Amino acid sequence: MTYLDEILKSRRDTRHFTDVQVPDAVLEKALQAGHWAPSVGLTDATKYYLIRSAKIKKTIKNLFLDYDEKAVALTDNEQQKLAYKALKLEAIEEAPLGLVICYDRSVLNNFTIGTVGSNEAVKFSSVCAAQNIWLSLTEQGYSMGWVSILNYYQFKQLLGLPENMEPLGYFCVGKPATDYNNQPMLQQLNWKQKQKIPLMEEITVLQESRVEKVFFSAKEEMDAAAFANALQHKIDQKTKPTNSLGILEVLAKQIGMVFQTLEPKITKPNLVVFAADHGIANHGVSAYPQDVTRQMVSNFLTGGAAINVFCKQNKIELAIVDAGVNYDFPMNTDLISAKIGKGTHSFLQGPAMSKTEIELCFIKGSEIVTNIAKTGSNCIGFGEMGIGNTATASVLMSIILELPVEDCVGKGTGVNEEQLIQKIKILKKCLNNYQGSEDLDSKLAYFGGFEIMQMVGGMLQAKEANMLILVDGFICSVAFLIAFKKNPSIIKNAIFCHSSAEQGHQKILDYLGVRSLLQLDLRLGEGTGCAIALPIIESAVAFLNEMASFESSGVSGR
């Protein structure tokens, strides 16, 4: 066994340290080893921050403790919970030195060799650097422990890291107090046994990759004038002055026409939130870093978001779709996996997605709604989550409605005025850079987002299944606008739940000639407007089915 083999075998994620300080020479040698690590496109995207302050360490420790409690709650059973609590998973305050290893995603502002397949290649480079630092410290008689049980958004805020700097985690550095019997600590404590040999399998058969184009038919509906008159007569004969229930009467007639019955019922209402990341988010168009998409999806899955609350309140079945989040979620989560890629590419530099990917989006969205319709649901709401998707939606709106992009762009997650000006400037440049075909699908592929296009496919399929389609705010309305361009008759099934605070939303509603139900200045997304509006929609059905008529009640008509 060579000396390198011995180091590789002995390397440990250290949680126990002596109080011996880390000499500058040891640290400099280790960081130089990190600098020598492979770096995608030679980007030099890795940066290091040193932490020696006891106050800062204590604050980071508190961040760990907060998320450690969440980890305890997620254990599989009581025995595992007790075993987890017995583990020592950090040495933030004990280790003499703290090291924060970051990757700079602003390098993606320019073309970078090796990142076309995945933006995460930049992150992988920094992980290679962390590995080299670990090996160098071990060779010098020191060690390092990686702490990742943190709220990374708060972590960045506390350290004052620039928006473009993304931390891998907090690393405890010092002289190890034990060698853990020359085995991984988790193995020593019987948490899990590491396999003796690596997993390996040779692939000898090439599988064929096929994407079949999905078609949605624009069905011609029979003349329903006689039925519409019958439905209107029923509404007018209720014990009320004509039109006195306002929009509820309009809704009742629409729902009756969709379901072609005088006694419509909403059954098993569903809401689907499509989540994905956007390459354009790497250019400062959002007030939040891209990783918030992943964080919010996790929040949806644990029931902590606004949409969870409203769906529970109004008895709506909620489904979360990973349409293309830049993260690998565990397989045992209650998540519909429809990942096309780990976020789109930045359309500042080239196409966000390929024609094949857009067809896959339509297929995935269609399949998801088909499965929901099979449960007996006849009402579906659409929501979304994706840092940077207001920028994407604004560009798509600008293209489809032929409006200046500055008339379409809003503050999204809450950018300030200066950031808004920069956002408009970037999106104008993106539009000016486009040199592709003038057909709609070419532009959708160039500027689109995975979650937006999956919603398009889902909405078109909902029309095929003759479901009520609840449309949320700005981004969902842009998706609907695309679906409308492909099948104008979809408008008959759509209910627009609220008018968003995003400036472009009302322009879309005006173009479609529709009126929204609610004016609440919402701009959260997630499908929250749909969930809040459903009780109003159900009220329209209730009065149509249950309210007495003049004849049945003996009340005199006009």
In terms of Cβ atoms closer than 10 Å to its own Cβ (0-12, 13-18, 19+), residue 333 is: middle
- Within 13 Å of residue 545, how many CA atoms lie on the same side as its CB? 13
Backbone angles phi and psi of 241, in degrees to 5: -65, 150
Q: Which residues pair with 381 in a beta bridge?
A: 271, 470
H/E stretch holding 5 reads helix 3-10
CA dist., res. 479 & res. 531, Å (int): 18
CA dist., res. 20 & res. 45, Å (int): 31
CA dist., res. 380 & res. 382, Å (int): 7
Helices (H) and strands (E) in the chain, counts: 20, 10
Burial state string for 451-490 with b = 16 or more CB within 10 A and e = fewer than 16: bbbbbbbbbbbbbbbebbbbbbbbbbbbbbbbbbebbeeb
Dihedral, CA atoms, 165, 111, 284, 401, nearest 10 degrees?
Answer: -160
Backbone angles phi and psi of 534, in degrees to 5: -55, -40
Q: Check the CA dihedral 330-331-334-335 and report its sign.
A: positive
Identify the CA nearest to 291 among candidates 420, 447, 156: 156
Q: What DSSP character marks residue 170?
A: E
SS (H, E, C) 496-523: ECECCCCHHHHHHHHHHCCCCCECCCCC
Count CB-CB contacts under 10 A for residue 313: 12
User: Are 194 and 184 within 8 A, CB to CB?
Assistant: yes
The two tokens of residue 538 are: 């159900």
Q: Scanning the structure block, which residue is given the tokens 């002596």?
A: 18
CA dist., res. 343 & res. 121, Å (int): 12
Catalytic residues: 526
Identify the CA nearest to 493 among candidates 455, 452, 528, 464: 464
CA dist., res. 526 & res. 473, Å (int): 9
Q: Which residues pair with 496 in a beta bridge?
A: 471
* C-alpha of 20 from chain center: 44
Q: Which residues pair with 518 in a beta bridge?
A: 498
Q: What DSSP character marks residue 213?
A: P
CA dist., res. 62 & res. 78, Å (int): 24
